[in-house]
Amino acid sequence: MLLDPGLNLTLRPMAYPVFFEMYRNAIKNTWTVEEVDFSTDLVDLRSKMTEAERHLIHRLVAFFATGDSIVGNNLVLNLYKHLNAPEARMYLSRQLYEEALHVQFYLTLLDTYVPDPAERAKAFAAIDNIPSIQRKAAFCMKWMDSIHDVQAARTKEDRRRFLLNLICFAGCIEGLFFFAAFAYVYFLRSKGLLNGLAAGTNWVFRDESAHMAFAFEAIQVARKEEPDLFDARMERDVVQMLREAVECETTFAQDLLSGGVVGLSTQDMRGYLEYVADQRLLMLGMAPVFRTKNPLGFMELQDVQELTNFFERRVSSYQVAVGVGAANDVVFDAAF
Amino acid sequence: MTVETPMKPTAATTLPLPPAPPVTAAPATSPQPAQGPAEFGTTTMRVRKRNGTAEPVDLNKIVRAVGRSCMGLSRVDVMRVATKTISGLYDGATTRELDSLSIQTAAALIVEEPEYARLSSRLLATFIQKEVSNQDIHSFSQSIAAGHKHGLIADRLLQFVQANARKLNAAIDPARNDLFEYFGLRTVYDRYLLKNPQTREVIETPQEFFLRVACALSGDNAREAIELYRLFSSLEYLPSSPTLFNSGTRHEQLSSCFLLDSPADELDSIYKKYSDIAMLSKFSGGIGVGYHRVRARGSLIRSTNGHSNGIVPWLKTLDASVAAVNQGGKRKGACCVYLESWHADIEDFLELRDNTGDEARRTHNLNLANWVPDLFMRRVETDGDWSLFDPKTVPHLTDLWGDAFDKAYAEAEASGVALRKVKARDLYARMMKVLAQTGNGWMTFKDLSNRKSNQTAKPANVIHLSNLCTEILEVTSQGETAVCNLGSLNLGRMVADGKFDFERLRANVQLALRQLDRVIDLNYYPIPTAADSNRRWRPVGLGLMGLQDVFFQLRLPFDAPEARALSQKISEEIYYAALSTSADLAEQFGAHPGFSETRAAQGELQFESWGVVPEDTARWSTLRARIQKTGLRNSLMIAIAPTATIASIAGCYECIEPQVSNLFKRETLSGDFLQVNRYLVRDLQALGLWNDSTRNRIKMAEGSVQDLTELPAELRNVYRTAWEIPMRSLIDMAADRGAFIDQSQSLNLFVETPNIGKLSSMYFYAWQKGLKTTYYLRSRPATRIAKATVGASGAAATSAPAPAPMAQAMPEAEAVACSLENPESCEACQ
């Protein structure tokens, strides 16, 4: 079983080919920070954006850089330890690389956006001093870190704790905090601002969507293998956790939007968070608790296929891995 | 600053809903004077007016302002726009912010109801009008005067406009604003309207902008200027972006494309080329440049007795240079490098866009194209060897094509000077791989391009490359830089009463061609080799856009035989009308100086080189005889450009392309715009099917309607996307059309999950069908972003909670075929 303690090395026969497929697909979407073009962002920051929008963006980028580090740590310290299937660990290894890439991306952004080293240090210090971020950190501590001391999930209670960690990780951190953070980026992009940030974030979002799908798949598998882990207490905890996550993120929104940003109000952001939280509950097969409609029209934009004019931006949709296997011989009669 | 938002403190776990519901009940066909909503009286929200005073936000005022733009729009809900606008405001916002927020709010509703596109575009038009008149500009002539005062407008235009002010001012027709879709007007406002250099406020309205361009291109004749203005503002034809950007300004660089011959194999020439490219990019030109003549890696450098590093380091420098020149902030510089397939650096060249490996050998800003001789394709066909050469040892190969090239290549092989030999299929497979991975590395065919060109009747005149978008094919040499001025007809606006209007097409071609020809004389040439070439050949590129709109209006599937026949007929008519007009011009002003060196002078027209016999041979014979007598004013006339930006201004689908999706996002410098297929929406509305659930299903299906079984099968067939149409039919259509295109066409091909097998077959077929060039290979990402706004409910409530973007990325059958757990059906492991 997926949550059995140990270090399983058996790839054949493969117990969970779905994880292996996810691993392969992830590799097809390799991108690098060097491909992102930030050239117009600086112009936007200097001359097109308001003080309030700049505040939003500095804090947001600092959060991203830190947030992805938190995710990376949890991957190594918890997920890798307890998800006992080599193909799942292959995926996690790949994910770990992607998290590092994201950190690099946001770090590069911050260095570009905030050229003054003292200012930069301040942006990162904000993570430790600002209540809205401290609240998020406390949240992570409460719901995720309790698993740290479990070396092997031998008891049902251990596995239950791990599963809750996994749900928090997938549903709240990647599935809610990051979704909220992406919303700010897409909001600015809907106003034509910070295309470099948006282009890179698009790729980050694509990666994060895959991470979330993996985690939810793992939750599903664990649940199928040990159905009674997911009892009424678990459901209560999950709802409680998501409610707290929405609260944390709302506090963060109030901070980010404190300067007054036209077109994005805290109550719309709150509505969006509730909407997203409901989506996570639905993904777990649970009833939604907020029943809020998504108020952010611009988020519709990121749900549809892009059509980039290359004069304007780089196209982000090409697949990276081709060239192996029989389908890759030169032939003249393949269907097209 | 402290901000009082109407939101409660967050401790409460109950949610404050957005304050919309109380007032949205009214369907609001016409603007309602809205006495009701006193709810907002209770907010403390204020706006700052332009004069600095603050006043409370007044819903009624917003409703009235929005309502004024709702004439004739029966499906928009004014109250909804107004309340949503207010919910996005913060205390102390400016009225300008309020106005632009209401525009964005309306625009965000386009996906629900296409009429909001009209509403948001009208709101934007009003917004622009306000911005202009706030600077005391109230007429066209005042706008030109202001532009001149700010140092933007050329003297000649100012004089012309002053002399004809009354006539021209009266010609402005604001009602034409209503032809714009929101994206179109937004693009015009963000990027095309002239701005005050200090305040960055626009100093012309969209209609004044069209008239300004028309005046600048009309040869100082008010009647002609107004005629052209009517053509532009009808959106039935638009000149290319550089013409729209620069007409009537002090830097009238109006050409879109420049084709530069490869630098010679020496340091001076290589550096001179960088500076030429920078000069041309600065004024909005797209660049194609060959690198065939520059020696390959390992070649001996006699003066220093060292070895060359080949072309990659030079291209790395070019890459940086292109990124640095940003076209005055209007759009980024762009450049495509062409390389002949026998050049010994071809493999390094094909790695330039990889995103792994040594960054010193990567060029992320350059586009790449293969300049492929027929001989290579024949070696691929017969699975033969292919020899790679250092141009230093075979400098003549670049200037030969057809039999002469084949012979010289064979001689070079026989003499043993080849640096290396590879399997032709291995190299071809690498080319396909690059296309699959990057969409770049376009396949363009050297021999076909030369054989079917009007300019290459004499062996000294050789085409060495195409341009940035693979639709221009013109002769270049060390002394000649080819230039092309472009414009495109919007076919989508030429359908009337369920029929395509050929009369209107012909009339429009005539006006358009005269305008394009005039650009040649008006144009400012940043480098002398461009001026020389353009005067000798006088080439222009008339193209088209909105072919898909025609098919949608006539409800024809893209690959239907009737569609194919209509497309061919349209291209034949355009070519015929263009040649006739150019012959008229030649009668009036004389043939272009190079005419005697063209195939047309010998009576050979484009379709003959394709072995095609047009429908009405008699009229072609008459025209041919006339051309041989009077000559042509232009050596080349037809080129189908990608029309990315002007298609969005005109509100139509791009050039000859099928739609990519029924619901997609257009990313531009001015932000992202959601585009819905308005033809589909109209049909779905008629069936009572256009609602949230349908929209979400289309979204989940990545813009496809093939699973919307309640939509009749014929319509599903009409509304297929590029991913769902066989590429063979696109290539066939392109070949049919090609017989009437004396340059070429930007033909994108679409393969959802490309592999080398598919691509090698497809590009081989394109070559066999005689296409001169192809453009991007479009594919889709291997994994997708999770849908944030589509409910997970449908799938999740039942059994399989994970939305699994992976599963979407791979169609079911392929996912199975790839699984290592199914070795029998797994192709990958065999």
Contacting residues of B for A304, CB less than 8 Å apart = 661, 663-665, 674, 699, 702-703
Closest CB to B805 among A210, A314, A321 = A210
pLDDT digits (tens, 9 = 90+) for B52-88: 888 888 888 889 989 999 999 999 999 999 988 888 8
Bridge partners (DSSP) listed for residue A134: none
pLDDT of residue B764: 97
What pLDDT is stored for residue B784 in this prediction?
Answer: 60
- Rounded Cα distance between B792 and A315, Å, is 28
Q: Which helix (H) or strand (E) holds B643?
A: none
- Contact status of B728 with chain A (Cβ, < 8 Å): yes
- B169 annotated active-site: no
Structure confidence by residue, pLDDT tens digits, B766-778: 999 999 999 999 8
Burial of B175 (0-12, 13-18, 19+ CB in 10 A): exposed
Q: CB neighbours of B673 closer than 8 A, spacing ≥ 6?
A: A301, B107, B182, B183, B186, B665, B666
CB B782 within 8 A of CB A29: yes
Nearest in space to B23 (alpha carbons), one of B11, B35, B9: B35
Six-digit token string for A113? 């956006």
Question: Are B796 and A271 in contact (CB < 8 Å)?
Answer: no
Task: Indicate if the pLDDT at residue B736 is higher than 80.
Answer: yes
Between CA B588 and CA B692 the distance in angstroms is 60
Closest listed residue to residue B462, CA positions, set B291, B453, B260: B453
Q: Smallest CA–CA separation between B631 and chain A, in Å? A: 37
> Is the distance from CB of B368 to CB of B337 less than 8 angstroms?
yes
Instruction: Determine how β-strand B93-94 pairs with β-strand B46-48.
Output: parallel
Which 8-state DSSP code applies to residue A225? H
Nearest-CA distance A253 → chain B (Å) = 10
Instruction: Please state the separation of Cα B234 from the chain's center in Å.
Output: 20
B interface mutation test: which of A29, A328, A329, A331 has the most B CBs within 10 A? A328
- Identify which of A252-266, B9-23, B86-100, B656-670 has the greatest average pLDDT: A252-266
Q: Is B729 in CB contact (< 8 Å) with chain A?
A: no
Q: Is A249 on the interface with B (CB under 8 A)?
A: no
Q: What average pLDDT score do residues B170-180 get?
A: 96
Which residue from B728, B721, B724 is spatially nearest to B761, judged by alpha carbons?
Answer: B728
Q: Please state which of the ranges B147-151, B746-750, B817-821 shows the lowest mean pLDDT.
A: B817-821
CA distances from B447 to B205, B258, B375, B425, B771 (A): 47, 21, 9, 19, 11
With beta carbons under 8 A apart, name residues in chain B contacting A241: none
Name the band, by pLDDT with cuts 50, 70 and 90, for residue B667.
low
User: How close are the terminal C-alpha atoms of chain B, in Å?
Assistant: 68
pLDDT at B696: 87
Q: What is the mean pLDDT of residues B140-157?
A: 97
pLDDT score for B88 = 82
Q: Which residues of A touch B89 (CB under 8 A)?
A: 262, 265
Helix axes B402-414, B374-381, angle to 10 degrees: 60
Choose among B484, B597, B477, B600: nearest CA to B539: B484
Q: A14: exposed, middle or buried (C-beta count within 10 Å: 0-12, 13-18, 19+)?
A: middle
The owner of tokens 């709109």 is: B549
pLDDT of residue B35 exceeding 60: no
Residues B451-470 have pLDDT tens digits of 999 999 999 999 999 999 99
Dump pLDDT digits (tens) for B338-376. 999 999 999 999 999 887 778 889 998 899 999 999 999
Torsion angles phi and psi, residue B361, rounded to 5: -115, 30
At B782 the pLDDT is: 63
Q: Which of A209, A295, A325 sits opposite B805 (nearest CB)?
A: A209
Portion 343-362 of B in contact with A at CB < 8 A: 355-356, 359, 362
Distance CA B486, CA B519 (A): 10
Strand B540-545 vs strand B482-490: parallel, antiparallel, or unpaired? parallel
| Active-site pick, B113, B115, B208, B471 | B471
Distance CA B483, CA B224 (A): 25
Contact A34, B364 (CB under 8 A): yes
pLDDT value for B686: 95
**Residue A179 touches chain B, beta carbons under 8 Å:** yes
If one counts every other C-beta atom within 10 angstroms of the C-beta of residue B25, the result is 10
Residues A71 and A174: beta-carbon distance below 8 Å: yes
Report the DSSP beta bridge partners of residue B195: B202
- CA-to-CA dists, residue B497 to B493, B494, B500, B550, B554, angstroms: 12, 10, 8, 12, 10
pLDDT of B331 strictly over 80:
no
Whether the per-residue pLDDT at B793 is higher than 80: the answer is no
> CB distance from B198 to chain A under 8 Å?
no
DSSP states along B105-123? HHHHTTTT-THHHHHHHHH
Q: Give Dmax over CA atoms of chain A in angstroms.
A: 64
**List of E strands, B610-744:** 663-668, 671-676
B46 touching A (Cβ < 8 Å): no
How is residue B193 written in tokens? 């309207």
B105 in contact with chain A, both atoms CB, cutoff 8 A? yes
Whether A227 contacts chain B with CB within 8 A = no
pLDDT value of residue B332: 62
- Do the chains contact at B792 and A279, CB–CB below 8 Å? yes
Nearest chain A alpha carbon to B753: A319
Phi, psi of B82 (to 5 degrees): -65, -45
Q: Is A131 on the interface with B (CB under 8 A)?
A: no
The closest alpha carbon to A250, from B745, B13, B636, B605, belongs to B13
Position B812 pLDDT exceeds 60: no
Listed residue (B664, B701, B662, B657) closest to B679, CA to CA: B662
For chain B, helix, strand, coil in percent to 5 are: 45, 10, 40
Interface ipTM > 0.85: no
Find the residue in B nearest to A295 (Cα). B18
pLDDT level of residue B518 (50, 70, 90 thresholds): very high
Which chain B residues touch A320 with a CB distance below 8 Å? 355, 437, 782
State the Rg of chain A over Cα: 21
Q: Which pLDDT score is estimated for A196?
A: 86
- B48's CB contacts (< 8 A; 6+ apart) are B54, B92, B93, B94, B95
User: Which parts of chain A have pLDDT scores under 70?
Assistant: 126-127, 301-327
Q: What is the pLDDT of residues B226-274, one digit of tens each?
A: 999 999 999 999 999 989 999 999 988 899 899 999 999 999 999 999 9
Whether the Cβ atoms of residue B168 and residue B224 lie closer than 8 Å to each other = no
Residue of B nearest to A38 (CA): B323
pLDDT(B30) > 70 = no
pLDDT of residue B16: 37
Asked if B757 lies within 8 A of A312 by C-beta distance, the reply is no
State both tokens at B673: 């715009």
CA B255 to chain centre: 15
Interface of B with A in 553-612 (CB under 8 A): none
Residue B593 has pLDDT above 90, yes or no: yes
CA distance A103 to chain B (A): 18
Size of the A and B interface in Cβ pairs below 8 Å: 344
Q: Can you give the pLDDT at residue B728?
A: 97
Q: Is A264 helix (H, G, I), strand (E, B) or coil?
A: coil
pLDDT of B615 higher than 50: yes
Identify the active-site residue in B469, B484, B652, B655.
B469
Q: CB A271 to CB B809 under 8 A?
A: no
**Cβ of A324 under 8 Å from any chain B Cβ?**
yes
B399: pLDDT strictly greater than 70: yes
Rounded to whole angstroms, the Cα distance separating B645 from B668 reads: 9
Closest residue, chain A, to B768 (C-alpha): A332
Tell me if A304 and B661 make a contact (CB, 8 A cut-off): yes
Q: Is A10 on the interface with B (CB under 8 A)?
A: no
My answer on whether omega of the bond before B6 falls inside 30° of 0, hence cis, is no
pLDDT of residue B788: 66
Give yes or no for a contact between A154 and A17, defined as CB atoms under 8 angstroms apart: no
Token couple for B474: 């013109």
Q: Which of B665, B750, B765, B776 to mutate to test the interface with A (most CBs of A within 10 A)?
A: B665
CA dihedral B585, B588, B590, B591 (to 10 degrees): 20
Interface residue B93 vs chain A (CB under 8 A): yes
Q: Determine, for residues B779 and A318 on separate chains, whether the beta-carbon distance falls below 8 Å.
A: yes
pLDDT digits (tens, 9 = 90+) for B672-724: 667 789 999 999 999 999 998 998 899 888 899 999 999 999 999 999 999 99
Contacts A212 to B, Cβ<8 Å: 786
For residue B141, the tally of other CB atoms under 10 A from its CB is 18
Of B520, B519, B619, the C-alpha closest to B579 is B619
CB spacing of A322 vs B754 below 8 angstroms: yes
- Estimate to the nearest angstrom the gap between the alpha carbon of B241 and the chain centroid: 10
Classify the C-alpha dihedral B206-B210-B216-B221 as positive or negative. Answer: negative
Sign of torsion, CA B574 B575 B581 B582? positive
Element at B426 (helix H, strand E): helix B424-438
Whether residue A250 lies within 8 A of chain B, CB to CB, comes out as: yes
Q: Closest residue of B to A307, CA-based?
A: B666
Tokens of B81: 């726009």
Q: Is A8 exposed, middle or buried (0-12, 13-18, 19+ CB in 10 A)?
A: middle
Put simply, the answer to whether B806 touches A21 (Cβ < 8 Å) is: yes
| CB neighbour list of residue B399: distance below 8 Å, 6 or more residues apart | B462, B464
Query: Do A266 and B804 lie within an 8 Å CB cutoff?
Result: no
SS (H, E, C) B719-745: CCCHHHCCHHHHHHHHHHHHCCCCCCE
State which H helix or E strand residue B815 sits in. Answer: helix B812-818
Catalytic residues of A: 106
Give, as one character, the DSSP assignment of residue B687: T
Q: Are B474 and B463 in contact (CB under 8 A)?
A: yes
Query: Does residue B779 belong to the interface with chain A, where contact is any CB pair within 8 Å?
Result: yes
Whether the per-residue pLDDT at B790 is higher than 70: the answer is no
